[in-house]
Amino acid sequence: MSRKFNAGYYVSEGFHSIFTHGFMSFAAVCMIVACLLIMGSFTLLAVNLDNTLGDLENENEMLVYIDDALTQDQARMLQPKLAQVDNVAQLTFVTKEAAVAAFKAKHSDTTAILNDYLAAWAGIGVELDAVYSGFLGAPEQVDIIRQVWEAYPDALRVVDPVMADHGKVYPTYTPELVEAMGTLAHGADILTPNLTEAAIILGREWEGADVDEATVREMILELRERGAKNVVLKGIEHGDGLIHNYVWGDSVDFTETTNAKLPYMLHGTGDVFASVLVGGILSGDSLAIAIERATRFLELTIKATYSYGTDPKATRFAADFTADAMVVSAKQPDFEARGVSFEPLLGKVSALLG
């Protein structure tokens, strides 16, 4: 004989059991809640990760740089071919002019505040042993460099006219800035152009990195005639596996230094060269010794970066600093694009010239 279903009975018995077995009921409810929370949290995490990875896949970008020798129309002709590459969803062509404008917008122009620095220095009686100029961002900054020269007439004037390499002017340099940079040759105690920069200053055509000694002498003499007291001409190649640098001026006879040309390039090596050169001179080195020091330092820097064979005792300065600095550089992401990094070891710099 079947018993009639009574929902109220079952509900009342259920509540009665909860209170009769209070602790076990509480534990069961807690376990259910904990399981729901754990499963829910993992479900939410999985959904969020899936959505995030999907967004990253959709936002993945790759920059493709076109040979600067191509015209804009020739560069645009490559766009259909690039669009056929697998997984390319969208392709945007950016002109060189637009890229330069974006670069300048991203990096602040400090021209307006440089005079404030000069005024602050004058206000507290700062004296400078040297004025070393390199990469500049506007023609007006050249005028400010000359103001610094006038404010500190006894300071060593070192000009590294950073504006071009391998026959090409850097994209951020306007014709006005290139012309203004060249005028700094007049009045420089030491001018350190590479071969491309020297050709631009002199209004010569770029003929490649392989020039003979007669041409080197001629170019240095022309730069000295423009007002540079001493000239360091860098980056000459003769296909002999060496980079040739030449110095000639009021303080040194015509001298050549060489270092091995390695199949690698690091950004900032020119800055390191000029910086070591200035540091050597201010520490009492002759120009010839400072040039040799800078050349050897630079060679060891690149060699140490790639564990290239070299004798750390080959020079009288602290080569271990160079090796340590390059270890730091090599551990950084994309170090070849970021360049030389020795900031964590600045405490050892003073030992180089001690």
Average pLDDT rounded to a whole number, residues 70-93: 78
Q: Which two tokens stand for residue 104?
A: 């300048």
pLDDT at 333: 67
Confidence of residue 317 (pLDDT cuts 50, 70, 90): very low
Say which residues have a Cβ less than 8 Å from residue 17's Cβ, sequence separation at least 6.
Answer: 25
DSSP class of residue 138 equals S
pLDDT at 155: 95
Taking CA 172 as the corner, what is the angle to CA 170 and CA 178, rounded to the nearest 5 degrees? 70
pLDDT per residue as tens digits for the range 109-154: 778 888 888 889 889 998 999 999 999 988 999 999 999 999 999 9
Among 1-5, 66-70, 185-189, 319-323, the range with the most confident prediction by mean pLDDT is 185-189
Q: Return phi, psi of residue 212, to 5°.
A: -80, 170
Among 11-15, 134-138, 310-314, the range with the most confident prediction by mean pLDDT is 134-138
How far is Cα 329 from Cα 276, in angstroms, rounded to an integer?
A: 18
- How many other CB atoms sit within 10 Å of the CB of residue 139? 17
Q: Is the pLDDT of residue 254 over 50?
A: yes
Which three-class secondary structure state does DSSP give residue 270? Answer: helix
- How many other CB atoms sit within 10 Å of the CB of residue 166? 11
Q: Is the pLDDT of residue 309 over 50?
A: no
Average pLDDT rounded to a whole number, residues 240-256: 90
Of 340 and 193, the structure prediction assigns the larger pLDDT to 193
How far is Cα 244 from Cα 21, in angstroms, rounded to an integer?
A: 93
Beta-strand ranges (E) seen in 211-268 are 230-237, 242-249, 252-260
**What ranges in 203-268 are assigned the alpha helix state H?**
213-225
Q: Is the pLDDT of residue 10 over 50?
A: yes
Taking CA 301 as the corner, what is the angle to CA 295 and CA 304, rounded to the nearest 5 degrees? 135
pLDDT per residue as tens digits for the range 19-57: 676 677 777 778 888 888 898 888 888 888 888 877 766
pLDDT at 348: 53
User: Considering only 36-45, 166-175, 306-315, which range has the smallest mean pLDDT?
Assistant: 306-315
Taking CA 194 as the corner, what is the angle to CA 337 and CA 220, rounded to the nearest 5 degrees? 170
Of 241 and 26, the structure prediction assigns the larger pLDDT to 241
Closest CA to 311 of 257, 245, 260: 260
Q: Which two tokens stand for residue 20?
A: 């009769």
How many residues appear in the chain? 354
C-beta of residue 311 within 8 angstroms of C-beta of residue 320: no
Residue 245 carries which side chain, given as an amino acid letter?
Answer: N
Closest CA to 179 of 192, 190, 189, 169: 169
Averaged pLDDT of the chain: 78
Confidence of residue 218 (pLDDT cuts 50, 70, 90): very high
How far is Cα 82 from Cα 91, in angstroms, rounded to an integer?
A: 8
Task: Indicate the angle between helix axes 213-225 and 195-202, nearest 10 degrees.
Answer: 50
How far is Cα 342 from Cα 329, in angstroms, rounded to an integer?
A: 7
pLDDT at 243: 84
Confidence of residue 335 (pLDDT cuts 50, 70, 90): low
